[in-house]
Amino acid sequence: MESDYDLLDRQLVHALQVDGRAPFSTIARVLGVSDRTVARRYARLRSTGAVQVVGGVDPTALGAVLWLLRVRCAPSAAVAVAEALARRPDTSWVNLTSGGTEITCTVRTENAADSEALLLARLPRTPRVEGVSAHSVLHAFYGGQDSVIAKLGPLDAEAVTALRPPQLPHRPGPVRLDDGDRKLLAALATDGRTGLEQLAAVTGWSPTTVRRRMTELREHGVLYLDIDCDGRLLGLGARTQLWLTVAPAHLEEVGEALAAHPEVAFAAATTGPTNIYASVICPDQRALYRYLTTRVAALPAVTHLETAPVIKTVKQAANRP
């Protein structure tokens, strides 16, 4: 399967990570190919599920809370419970880990009341679920609009600069979403490249209003563009989850160090018995061993480390299993 992807496919994915809504003409000019070639490559990758541009929402910009859940269950129930979690619109990155006896996922809750309901009533109710632990994300060091593709993609700095859209000013302050905003974000969560005319039909706004509101939501940090892609496109290996315990005085230092590691796709400070979570990607077990015994071992403030290999990803960032 790896041979189905070539350098141009990888360059296209990296280009979309830089700007998920970049016109094909812009991408074609930077990559030195025709508009038609880019459009054809994207259509093929999109139709096979190898690539999807996703409109992501930063829950903290809306005063919401992001949780990392660890659900322990009987092996015979793991797949069914994971699929049930994946069908929920508020979940992402639903994974089977630890030999298939644990499910991890991220869940977005709108407020404290929703967080309580999540833990007490909204999780799959089955006696085969043996335990649940919830870790609130306090601070993300890397992830969201920061993608591992930016670290591992094939484009050079000059190409990235040519593709990068103008930086938007940051608008501080609370953001309130109306019904049109929610329809807009839901449409972009399904396809981040949905055209303005289609978004106008969904929201009932004019294309000009859609463009303006998208810009405002991005300036407030609510909306960002993410990429779901087949890891084989970039030659990515298996993912492993790390749960670390770090001396509180060194939490920021360790988190920033992890964020700079090329192996790290996501890193955050959390509540719970461990206080840093990281998702790392290594080509194989030997590379993971080297990573743990060199880069992680060089962080003296780490007092405990738990590893959990991901054996299956049921849902990525997109609002669909």
Q: For residue 95, is it within any domain?
A: no
CA-to-CA distance for 245 and 99, rounded, in angstroms?
23
Q: Judging by beta carbons within 10 Å of its beta carbon (0-12, 13-18, 19+), is residue 248 exposed, middle or buried?
A: exposed
Containing H/E element for 162? helix 157-163
The boundaries of the domain holding residue 249 are 141-152+232-312
pLDDT at 10 over 60: yes
- Residue 10 tokens read as 């990888």
Give the pLDDT of residue 252. Answer: 96
CA-to-CA distance for 233 and 279, rounded, in angstroms?
19
Confirm if 149 and 110 have CB atoms less than 8 A apart: no
Q: For residue 36, is it within any domain?
A: no
Q: For residue 80, is it within any domain?
A: no
Q: For residue 173, is it within any domain?
A: no
Confirm if 172 and 182 have CB atoms less than 8 A apart: no
Q: For residue 246, is it within any domain?
A: yes
The domain tally of the chain equals 1
DSSP state of 273: S
Q: For residue 162, is it within any domain?
A: no
Give the pLDDT of residue 1. Answer: 38
Q: What is the CATH number of the domain that holds 146?
A: 3.30.70.920
Query: Pairing between strand 276-282 and 264-270?
Result: antiparallel
Give the pLDDT of residue 321. Answer: 43
Secondary structure (3-state) at 293: helix
CA-to-CA distance for 321 and 317, rounded, in angstroms?
9
Between 110-124, 253-267, 300-314, the lowest mean confidence (pLDDT) is in: 110-124
Secondary structure (3-state) at 143: coil
- The more confident residue out of 296 and 57 is 296
CA-to-CA distance for 276 and 142, rounded, in angstroms?
12
Of 58, 208, 42, 223, residue with least CA distance to 199: 208
pLDDT digits (tens, 9 = 90+) for 145-196: 788 899 989 999 999 999 999 998 988 877 889 999 999 999 999 999 999 9
Q: For residue 60, is it within any domain?
A: no
Confirm if 151 and 262 have CB atoms less than 8 A apart: yes
Query: What is the signed CA dihedral for 12, 238, 52, 208, rounded to 10 degrees?
Result: -90
Confirm if 295 and 301 have CB atoms less than 8 A apart: no
Token pair 């461990």: residue? 274
Q: For residue 282, is it within any domain?
A: yes
- Residue 176 tokens read as 């309130």
CA-to-CA distance for 265 and 98, rounded, in angstroms?
19
At residue 93's C-alpha, the angle toward residues 233 and 294, to 5°, is: 70
pLDDT digits (tens, 9 = 90+) for 212-242: 999 999 999 999 999 888 888 888 888 999 9
Q: What is the DSSP string of 176-228?
A: ---HHHHHHHHHHHH-TT--HHHHHHHHTS-HHHHHHHHHHHHHTTSEEEEEE
Give the pLDDT of residue 249. Answer: 95
